[in-house]
Amino acid sequence: MRKRLNFVSLMILGVLAFTSCGAQASSSTDKSVTNSDSSVRDVFAMDTFMTLKAYGDNADSGLDEAVERIQQLESELSVTDENSEIKKINNASGQSVQVSNDVKILLEKAESKSEETNGALNICLYPILKEWGFTTGEYKIPEQNKLDSMLKNTDVSKIAISDNSVSIPFDYQIDFGALAKGYTSDEIMRILRENGVESAVVSLGGNVQTLGKKPDGSNWKVAITDPFSPDKDMCVIEVGEKAVITSGNYERFFTGDDGKNYWHIIDPKDGYPADNGLVSVTIIGDSGLDCDALSTALFVLGYPDAIDHWRKDSFFDMVLVTTNGEIFYTEGLEGSFTNTSSMSAEVLKIADKS
């Protein structure tokens, strides 16, 4: 089987260019920004290359504290570290485990977003991800009957949370792969703000979050990867203080012996990679955690259900790319969206019917 990993999804134009291996390059297009007083940290955590950039006098102290917080979150949330809280929950054979507020917040968000998205977000799919080999890189296409029996142990409502005590049924295993980076970027921004930083931008494996505006007072420009040519961008959006978080079928996948691609976002209906008409979903909103949960869930819901969901719950903006190569973006992005691809791009209005 051929294997391929791709981690890029977004680039911040005019500030930094993020590549698939997390390297960065100063842009020559925006002298006012590259000349500003900025500090940068590159971190590898959560299986992800992260770049944090902050401006101003307090940037270094804020960034140092943020890096410590990333390491703390990784040690709580890792699915592989024997001492992590997640591993303890997964190894507890149905017994209760005391957890931090971080894990409690993530569990509660996972439950509420699962309910809101008709079960599309499901943090109990970890055994199925292992069966496909997404956790080890030893990929295989599982038998459907094996997946069907594993799917019986994925009922999110069976996760019991009481105060900071959590239990999951015997034979269940959870992972926060769909939400952890969004929560982490929220936490980075909270810490930078508390340290007096007013302008910052982070990319966690392509998930971008910004604090304030650029030091010159202008908006940030965030490019979104073309899912059909992941080394290119397809559009640029201008944002103030926002999270811009993408889930795509090109980010982590393998090619099976049957010549088809299989990716790491699983449809809880059949245990197969979600293939419901979308190849990329970018969510733009105020909370990294909400955007991360939604990017995965709406990728699973697919086209047009993702649009129906947005019409019911439109506190966020989004950019969708369909399997047919069409871009749809929500009306809140009108005026800040620039299509740089040859794909057609259509605006979604709340008032229109899908």
Using rule CB under 5 A, residue 287 touches Mg ion:
no
Binds ligand ADP (CB under 6 A): choice among 53, 181, 214, 242: 181
Binds Mg ion (CB under 5 A): choice among 175, 275, 292, 305: 292
Residue 310 token pair:
């947005």
- Smallest separation (angstroms) from Mg ion to the CB of 105: 15
- Which of 321, 318, 347, 304 lies closest to 234 in space, CA to CA? 321
Residue 128 token pair:
């199925």
Using rule CB under 6 A, residue 122 touches ligand ADP:
yes
By CB under 5 A, which span of 68-76, 152-160, 284-292, 307-315 interacts with Mg ion?
A: 284-292
Using rule CB under 5 A, residue 178 touches Mg ion:
yes
Task: Assess contact for 272 and 147: CB atoms under 8 A.
Answer: yes
Binding marks (x or -) toward ligand ADP, 261..300, rule CB under 6 A?
Answer: ---xxx-x-----------------------x--xx---x
Using rule CB under 5 A, residue 251 touches Mg ion:
no
Which residues contact residue 257 at a Cβ distance below 8 angstroms, ignoring those fewer than 6 apart? 1, 141
- Smallest separation (angstroms) from ligand ADP to the CB of 245: 7
286 vs 289: CA distance, rounded Å? 9
Which H helix or E strand runs over 234? strand 229-239
Which residues contact residue 309 at a Cβ distance below 8 angstroms, ignoring those fewer than 6 apart? 116, 117, 297, 298, 301
Binds Mg ion (CB under 5 A): choice among 38, 249, 296, 322: 296
Task: Assess contact for 271 and 147: CB atoms under 8 A.
Answer: yes
**One-character DSSP codes across 7-69:** ---EEEETTEEE-TT--EEE-SS-HHHHTS-EEEEEEEETTEEEEEEEESTTHHHHHHHHHHH
Residue type, 255: T
Q: Kindly identify the residues of this chain, within the stretch 30-59, that bind Mg ion according to CB under 5 A.
A: none
Using rule CB under 6 A, residue 224 touches ligand ADP:
no
Which phi-psi region, left, alpha or beta, contains residue 162 (left: φ > 0; alpha: ψ -120 to 50)?
A: beta
Binds ligand ADP (CB under 6 A): choice among 8, 121, 150, 237: 121
Using rule CB under 6 A, residue 46 touches ligand ADP:
no
**One-character DSSP codes across 71-82:** HHHHHHH-SS-T
The entry of Mg ion, ligand ADP, none that residue 124 binds, CB within 5 to 8 Å by partner kind:
none
Q: Kindly identify the residues of this chain, within the stretch 298-327, that bind ligand ADP according to CB under 6 A.
A: 300
Using rule CB under 5 A, residue 85 touches Mg ion:
no
Using rule CB under 5 A, residue 305 touches Mg ion:
no
Q: Which residues bind ligand ADP (CB under 6 A)?
A: 121-123, 125, 129, 175, 177-178, 181, 205, 247, 251-252, 264-266, 268, 292, 295-296, 300
Q: Which residues bind Mg ion (CB under 5 A)?
A: 178, 292, 295-296
